[in-house]
Each structure stands twice: as C-alpha cells, then as structure tokens.
Amino acid sequence: MGKSVQKKSAHFLMVILACLPSLLWADEDDKKYLAGAVPEVDGKVVFVKEFDLPGVDPNTVYDRMHSWLDSRMKENNNESRIVYADKEKLQIVASDEKYLVFTKNALSMDRSLMNCNIIVLCKPGKCEIQVDRIRFNYEDKKQAAEEMIADNVALNKKKTAIFRGYKKFRTNTVDYVDDLFESARVALGIRHDDASPLVATQSEQAKLLPADKQVDKAPAVNQSVSAATQNVQPTTPIDPQTETPSSLQGYKQISPDKIPGNIIKMLSEDWMLITAGTDEKFNMMTASWGGLGMIFGKPMAICFIIPTRYTYQLMETNDTYTFTFYTEAYRDALNYCGSSSGRDTDKVKGSGLTPITTPLGSKAFSEAWLIIECRKVVAQSLNHDFLYNEKIKAEWTGKQLHKMFIGEIVNVWVK
C-alpha cells in the first residue's frame, strides 16, 4: 500500500512539473519583456523616453511632435486624438485607443482594446515622452495596467519568467511603447548612430505643419509630467470655415454640427454637468442621461432632471443653461457635484471648478473642454408609460419622475 501511495505521489509530481511550462513563459530571445521592461512610478505603470536635442529650438520640436502625434492618432482609431496642446508651455497630450491583437485566424480573433495617455514635453535641448494611465478592455472586463502587466503580477518571484495568462498583455504593451518611441525618434530626425537630431530646414518645417498652424516662439518651461497633466483639456481640429471668433477666453466657437466626440460615450461613461442659473444664483449637477439631435430643422439637446434636484428649480425659472464636458482628470469633481446638494453646500468651492459666464448670462466652468449652451424650448414631465421595463416601472410607482427639457443649441465652445 505504501508503494502505491509513493507511486501516485510521484506521478502527481510529474504532472505538476509537466504543467509548469504552460503556466510560465520565458524565452532567451525575449528577455526584454522581463524585469525592467515595465517601469513603475509610485506604484503606477509609466513608460518614459527622453531624447537629447542639443541646440534645437523647442518650438521646432513642438511643431514636429504635434504633427507626428496628430497623424499617429488619426491612423489608430476614431477615439484617438490630441486632447491638449499648449503652445506656450510646449506641452501636448493625446488619448490613444488601439486594439492589441494577440492571435488572428480565419475563424476568430483574440484582442484587447487598450487606452492610454501620451504626454509630450518639449524642453530646451530635450523632448520627453511619457505613456501612462494604460487600461485594457478585454472580454467586457476593464483592468488597469497595474493589474495586468506590472512585475509583481505578471512575473514569477525570481523575475525570470512571465505567467502565461499575462504574457500577451505585457509583451504587446511593451511592443506598442517601443514602436511609439521609435516612431517619435524618426519624427525628430534622430539617427540610430548619432544622438544629435537632424536640424530641420525651413522647408522641412513647412512640410511638418501647415502654415496656419505655425506658432510664434514661446518661452521654454521646465515642468514635471504630473504638473503637465493636472489640467488636461481636449482639443479637436476645427474646420476654419466653421470657426468664429470666440466670446469666451481660451475657447473656439463652432457650429453645433461640428461638435466632436461620441455623445453616447460622453454621457454614459464620461458624464456631463448641467448648469442652470445666473451670476446671482446657479447650480450644477452631474448627468448621464440626454442626447443631441435635430428637431424641426434645429439642433437640439435633451436632458432629464428629477424635481427633487436643486438644479430643477433653476431650470424651471431660467431660459438658458449649459452642458459641459470634462476629461478623466475631473472625475472627482463630477462625483462631488453628483453627490452634494447646492441647497446647503458651496458646490463651486467643494468641486474646485472655476465658474465663467457666457454672453447670454449662462454659467459654465473654465475646466470644461466642451460647452454647449441651450435655450429652453420644451419642458415636459414624464409618466410611467414612458418606462418600458415593468420592474423599473414598479420601482418608480408613487414617485416623482424626471422632467424632460429640450433646448435649442445656441452656442458651442471647445478648447
């Protein structure tokens, strides 16, 4: 009996040893994916590449990087774009969305949607590129890079092998970053055999950026990457024929049919603030219900507010109001505005947002990347017949339902 147990134990051990190669992955030719391949800063996955550019005007570097990054974002995905470009601070931030394809054949494809921020800082004699806030959306599950590709998650204790379940995410992400940095090197004109850049001639600079996008020389600044991303504001290329002089400082005014972005995503995932009132009294609330469209040949915006909300009273008594949209950097402010009441709280102070007033007297906030100003046209209370789901209908029976406000879009501003 003892020999039988020993024999079974030995067989079990052999099975475990045979399975180890399938649990770990390592290859002599792929050591670049092991320890050090995925750097971290304060517990966050952050890739950084700095190029030395001695004697090169930072404005020339900015122009090259802006042109390069804009072209790259347009190639990747409709949701990829430059979200911030400050010509005075010589800083550019892009939001990239790209599919990492792991395997592909005639019948199936294994891939993950990856999102990340790309930050470019142009300094005297240097250009720094940072990739951070990496997120994966795989099989309807969203996970941060820290949960998928960091050393303490993806590597074994000795840092000599990658756990198979994390291999495809780690290797593809490292390859993506390597390709990004290599593409930037080429755009900067740096040769592999020479650290110094090829200084652009005037004709080269003209090709890199359209004449109407050339910038005046701006004073160089030296700010940290974290400071550069504190107030990220999206910008979207505007058709000059649809752009008009803006009445709000720091914004460009566009026609409603040029509103950028996916409104469904902007509402359901990013959220917006509805702000009603005047300088004397106003309030904002977080909202994820609404939409944009055409009604009777006019651009309209729709929102829904429950009567118990403080903003509801201001919507009822004022003719104009605004929808404002923000980047992820202001998620905490939106959470605060959605969980605090303006009746007994100074929401402006609590949110940290900066109020501004439109020419029509509506209120908005200077941190918004998009402001849509509306003039109220219809205010209609909903009834239970509107609820298509019987379970939801039962939950709302006896309660006040939302009122639908439809407003004509009279002004749109973007940064």
The label of the residue with tokens 């944009």 reads 292
Contact call for residues 326 and 266 (beta carbons, < 8 A) = no
Residue 132: CB atoms within 10 Å:
18
Contact call for residues 106 and 25 (beta carbons, < 8 A) = no
The label of the residue with tokens 């977080």 reads 286
Contact call for residues 302 and 392 (beta carbons, < 8 A) = no
Dist CA 19 CA 244 (whole Å):
66
DSSP H or E segment with residue 275: strand 272-277
DSSP 38: S
Tell me the per-residue pLDDT of 301-342, one tens digit each, with 9 for 90 and over: 999 998 888 899 999 999 999 999 998 889 999 999 988 887
Query: Under CATH, what is the fold of the domain 252-414?
Result: Pnp Oxidase; Chain A (2.30.110)
pLDDT of residue 208: 37
Each residue's pLDDT expressed in tens, for the chain with a length of 415 residues: 555 555 555 454 444 444 444 444 455 556 889 988 999 999 999 999 999 988 888 998 999 999 999 888 887 666 788 989 998 999 999 999 989 999 887 777 899 999 999 999 998 889 999 999 999 999 889 999 999 999 999 999 888 999 988 999 999 999 999 999 999 998 888 875 444 444 444 443 343 333 343 333 333 333 333 333 333 344 333 343 344 445 688 899 999 999 988 899 999 889 999 999 998 899 999 999 899 999 988 999 999 998 888 899 999 999 999 999 998 889 999 999 988 887 878 889 999 999 999 999 999 999 999 999 999 998 888 766 656 567 766 766 666 678 899 999 999 999 8
Q: How far is CA 365 from each of CA 283, 293, 336, 372, rounded to the nearest angstrom? A: 11, 24, 15, 11
pLDDT of residue 231: 39
C-alpha count within 13 angstroms, C-beta hemisphere, residue 7? 4
pLDDT of residue 388: 58
The phi and psi torsions of 28 (rounded to 5 degrees) equal -60, -30
Rounded to two decimals, what is the model's pTM? Answer: 0.46
- The separation between CA 269 and the C-alpha centre of its own chain, rounded to angstroms, equals 11
- DSSP β-bridge partners for residue 91: 86, 121
- DSSP β-bridge partners for residue 41: 44
**Contacts (Cβ under 8 Å, ≥6 apart) of 146:** 40, 43, 44, 45, 153
Q: Does the domain formed by 24-228 have CATH 3.30.530.80?
A: yes
Query: CA angle, corner 54, sides to 51 and 55, nearest 5?
Result: 135
Tell me the per-residue pLDDT of 144-158, one tens digit each, with 9 for 90 and over: 999 999 999 999 988
Which sequence spans correspond to the domains of the chain? 24-228, 252-414
Q: Which amino acid is at 124?
A: P
Dist CA 408 CA 378 (whole Å):
9
Torsion of CA 131, 137, 142, 148, to 10 degrees: -60
SS3 at position 136: strand
